[in-house]
Amino acid sequence: MSPAQQTSVTATFRTMHESGCFVLPNPWDVGTAIYLEHLGFEALATTSAGFAFSRGKRDGGVPRDEMLAHIREIVEATSLPVNADFESGYADEPEGVAANVRLCIATGVAGLSIEDNTRRTDPPLYEKKVAVDRIRAARSAIDASKTDAVLTGRCEAWLVHDPDPLDTALDRLAAYAEAGADCLYAPGVSKPDEIAQIVKTVAPRPVNVLVSGFNHQRSLSQLAHLGVRRISVGSGLALAAWGAFLRAAQDIQTNGAFNLLANGAASADLNELFREEL
């Protein structure tokens, strides 16, 4: 992607956060990215877990350079803005986060997220001051790039089973906004009143909410009514695909039955879709 193209899609992506509510689906490979664009979605986001599972690795188990190559592959597969799930920035110290954010920006992304999850049991979250400094470092790296990429600050309180996730998230997300995050995100929050509190606390900054198996009952209109600007599905689509695969494979192995293969996509439809991409 040329610098001019990156500037254009980034401007589009930033504008999408200014009003309304949109869905940011998460492909995990080139084919799923192409199909989501074909359906009419206006932007995409990578999924660290979805990609990791496709590589036979745990979430968080993909090294930085492999993830950067994947992000670039998704960017190059679509004309849409792409937001990178850049995990914790692949570094502990702010200086390392800044250096890696520069590498991520170079893939052509329109935005990226930085989380405060250490992926360690003690402590599970970076100490607040360090976490804020990491967001500030990411902001500085983006500003220096002149791309105006959208920075999302993520508080992982729910995912690490913090004893008081709402208070932790409210405190940290407000601090991340102050440090330069354009969009705020606390994956795992599901109660409407808690979502509304997050929206109010960081206003006027936009809020992203994750919808996946644990809160799939929430609709776009319900979340929009709460003031949410962006909805992502994380590994939800990848897990849906894995669910269908597991059920069919297990049925073959256990029962010698092939009935579930009848629910698969039509190869003729996929051949036609990908022929259009040539």
**Cis-peptide into 25, omega within 30 deg:** no
> How far apart are the C-alpha atoms of 237 and 244, rounded to whole Å?
11
Query: Which pLDDT score, from 0 to 100, does residue 173 have?
Result: 98
Instruction: Answer yes or no: is 262 within a domain.
Output: no
Residue 277 has pLDDT above 90, yes or no: no
Query: Which pLDDT score, from 0 to 100, does residue 28 have?
Result: 98
Instruction: Answer yes or no: is 241 within a domain.
Output: no
Instruction: Answer yes or no: is 121 within a domain.
Output: yes
Query: Which pLDDT score, from 0 to 100, does residue 179 have?
Result: 98
Instruction: Answer yes or no: is 252 within a domain.
Output: no
Residue 261 has pLDDT above 60, yes or no: yes
Q: Are 137 and 151 in contact (CB under 8 A)?
A: no
Mean pLDDT of 138-149: 97
CATH number at residue 95: 3.20.20.60
Other CB atoms within 10 Å distance of the CB of residue 208: 23
Instruction: Answer yes or no: is 227 within a domain.
Output: yes
Q: Give the total number of structural domains in the chain.
A: 1
Q: Which residue segment(s) compose the domain that 179 sits in?
A: 3-235
Query: Which pLDDT score, from 0 to 100, does residue 278 have?
Result: 56
Instruction: Answer yes or no: is 109 within a domain.
Output: yes
Q: Where residue 214 falls among pLDDT bands split at 50, 70, 90?
A: confident
Query: Which pLDDT score, from 0 to 100, does residue 276 have?
Result: 72
Q: Report the SS3 class of residue 124.
A: coil
Residue 1 has pLDDT above 90, yes or no: no
> How far apart are the C-alpha atoms of 31 and 64, rounded to whole Å?
22
Instruction: Answer yes or no: is 133 within a domain.
Output: yes
Q: Are 9 and 80 in contact (CB under 8 A)?
A: yes
Instruction: Answer yes or no: is 278 within a domain.
Output: no
